[in-house]
Amino acid sequence: MITPLLSAFARGLTTEIAFDVLALAKRLKAAGKDVIELQIGDSPYPTSSSALAAGKAALDAGHTRYAPSMGLPDFRAGLAKLVRDEFGIAAGPENVVVAPGAKPFEQFFCELFLEPGDAVLVFEPAFPTYLPNVLRRGARMVTAPLTPENEFRPDLAAVERFVRDEPRAKAVFLNSPHNPTGGVATKADLEGLAAILRGTGVALFSDEPYCHMVWRGRHHSPLAEPGMMERTVAAYTFSKSYSMSGWRCGFAVTAAPLAELIGKMVNSTLSCAPPFVQLAGLAAIEKDAAERDRTMAAFRAKVALLVAELRRVPDVSVAEPAGTFYVFPDVRPLCRRLGITSHGLAMYLLEGADEKRGVACLGGECFGPAGQGFLRFSTAEPDDRLREAVAFLADAVTRTERVAAFLASNPQYRAGGR
């Protein structure tokens, strides 16, 4: 039987590995294993109270049908006020478009600006879904490393080289606060970035889902820099700030003509974001700021706790992240000693270190080669479980016979591929 040939894009499609590890962790838990889940960037806290009440009321009131593709007018106006008041972005409702979460805007940005053969600069380690969205357009990704020596902040010299030397330079992806490293671009970084990009044909995707999780200073958006609105799409989500990950509520801010085009993309792909979700989001931004800020303070304390615990583990070093609810420890000495890759170490902690217990986290190479030798832990568990996870790590890496047995069964995780 002759069947249609799959596209090269479909055959090579990659995914966000956190969800793959999540699925494995759930299977192990269902089989009776005690798994401490630090692999995915989800909140352990309930959805903020006003959002939850408004969502329920909206369902009861029948707000379950189609909404405008750009988003409900009152919600767009509320979002514009939010970014004006909190981030100094000169936005009105015409600059805002709503979608189910922030991820769709990666695809829409690429559809807005990229043609086959165009070059896109991405700082690595990088969020895993950037690459498939670039490839979807036939464009190519150019990477620049984020380093602990530079606090995982973007290297402006790399941007200058990209704009100067790449004949098809078309876009830059910026993620700040940064997943997975916790690095945060400073106001001076963004001023320098704007100075490089202004007067060029290079667009900027600014991924800002952790905008309320900045532990030193405050969040800055490149949209607040002069001349950047016309070339920038900034994406935000309610998943982190208001613990609404499953609601799928996100929005983008950009120049009005670009927002209108993105609205057409929403129309032709997603139709709209559910109206009851938007009404829940509106209640969150109007009534839940104090609750949000208390939750953010709790996350900050969790991050500090996890950093302090990890610093007690031999051969592990970790810098205090400037933002996000992730900790990104350097485990290269451990990996060298055990002859294992960092993602192999992560999978060993989940599957191989103990029959009854495991810790789910991610190897840094899940975010590209620049992440090799690191692990990413989220703080999405109670404090006692965070302590238990680090104690488990410290003990598991001493079980060299179990490491050897795990590598014998999983040779793909041997350092150097041996």
| Gap between the Cα atoms of 324 and 321, Å rounded | 7
Last residue of a domain, one of 257, 287, 317: 287
Residue 61 shares a structural domain with residue 130: yes
**Among candidates 319, 328, 316, which has minimal Cα distance to 378?**
328
Residue 13 shares a structural domain with residue 119: no
- For residue 416, what are the contacts with CB-CB under 8 A and spacing of at least 6? none
Task: Give the pLDDT of residue 418.
Answer: 46
Would you give the distance in Å from CA 295 to the centre of its chain?
19
Residue 53 shares a structural domain with residue 42: no
Domain CATH number, residue 363: 3.90.1150.10
Residue 297 shares a structural domain with residue 206: no
- The domain total for the chain is 2
Last residue of a domain, one of 253, 287, 321: 287
Task: Give the pLDDT of residue 283.
Answer: 98
Residue 91 shares a structural domain with residue 237: yes
Task: Give the pLDDT of residue 102.
Answer: 96
Residue 207 shares a structural domain with residue 303: no
Q: In this structure, is residue 166 part of a structural domain?
A: yes
Q: In this structure, is residue 1 part of a structural domain?
A: no
Task: Give the pLDDT of residue 99.
Answer: 98
Q: In this structure, is residue 233 part of a structural domain?
A: yes
Residue 340 shares a structural domain with residue 217: no
Q: In this structure, is residue 353 part of a structural domain?
A: yes
Last residue of a domain, one of 287, 302, 322: 287
Burial of 199 (0-12, 13-18, 19+ CB in 10 A): exposed
Q: What is the dihedral of CA 375, 380, 386, 391, to 10 degrees?
A: -40
Q: Could you report the average pLDDT of every consecutive run of 10 residues in the chain (418 residues)?
A: 84 77 86 92 93 98 98 98 98 98 97 98 96 96 96 97 98 98 97 97 98 96 97 98 97 98 97 98 98 97 98 95 97 96 95 94 93 95 96 96 94 79
Residue 282 shares a structural domain with residue 301: no
Residue 33 shares a structural domain with residue 151: no
Residue 236 shares a structural domain with residue 104: yes
Q: In this structure, is residue 2 part of a structural domain?
A: no
Task: Give the pLDDT of residue 384.
Answer: 97
Domain CATH number, residue 177: 3.40.640.10
Residue 116 shares a structural domain with residue 233: yes
| Gap between the Cα atoms of 418 and 414, Å rounded | 5
Q: In this structure, is residue 3 part of a structural domain?
A: no
Q: Residue 370: give the domain boundaries.
A: 8-46+291-405
